[in-house]
Amino acid sequence: MHEITLVTGLFEIIKEQVAARGIESISKVRLKVGALAAVEPMTLTACFEVVAEGTVAEGAQLEIEEVPLTGRCRGCGADFRIEKFSFICPCCGGGAVEMTGGRELYLESLEAKMKPL
């Protein structure tokens, strides 16, 4: 289960943002997670809730946007969703396919309440 490691890293980023921006509390955390990240959303959410206890993110909603595996054919230029790890272009049948999506794993945004000045 590498989700706990991911959440621990996420909270390092959150701590940096809290310090840099004067955040009082966080109500929502948005992540982008690609299909190749091999992340189980339910496990990630459970780990998030545990790590968030006692922090400015306690009670925050974790919103996970799953990004599908996508590719572009180098032969015909078609963009398509890669299904069942078949890296064959559905338009021309070519095998020269580059991945264009599905490797993402990053913090998209935070919804936060700022400390009063």
Q: In this predicted structure, what is the pLDDT of residue 33?
A: 95
Q: In this predicted structure, what is the pLDDT of residue 77?
A: 97
**What CA–CA distances, in Å, run from 37 to 22, 41, 70, 74, 104?**
31, 11, 14, 24, 7
Q: What is the DSSP letter of 82?
A: -
* Tokens read off for 111: 């919804």
E-assigned strand segments in the chain? 23-34, 61-67, 70-73, 79-81, 97-101, 105-114
**Residue 14 pLDDT greater than 60, yes or no:** yes
Average pLDDT over all residues of the chain:
94
So where are the chain's domains? 3-114
Q: How confident is the model at residue 46 (pLDDT cuts 50, 70, 90)?
A: very high
**Residue 1 pLDDT greater than 70, yes or no:** no
Helix, coil or strand: residue 61: strand
Q: In this predicted structure, what is the pLDDT of residue 116?
A: 81
Q: In this predicted structure, what is the pLDDT of residue 2?
A: 86
Question: Hey, which CATH number is domain 3-114, 3.40.50.1370, 3.90.1170.50, 3.30.2320.80, 3.20.20.70?
Answer: 3.30.2320.80
**Closest to 71 (Cα-Cα) out of 57, 58, 56, 90:** 90
What are 68-115's pLDDT values in tens digits? Answer: 999 999 999 999 999 999 999 999 999 999 999 999 999 999 999 988
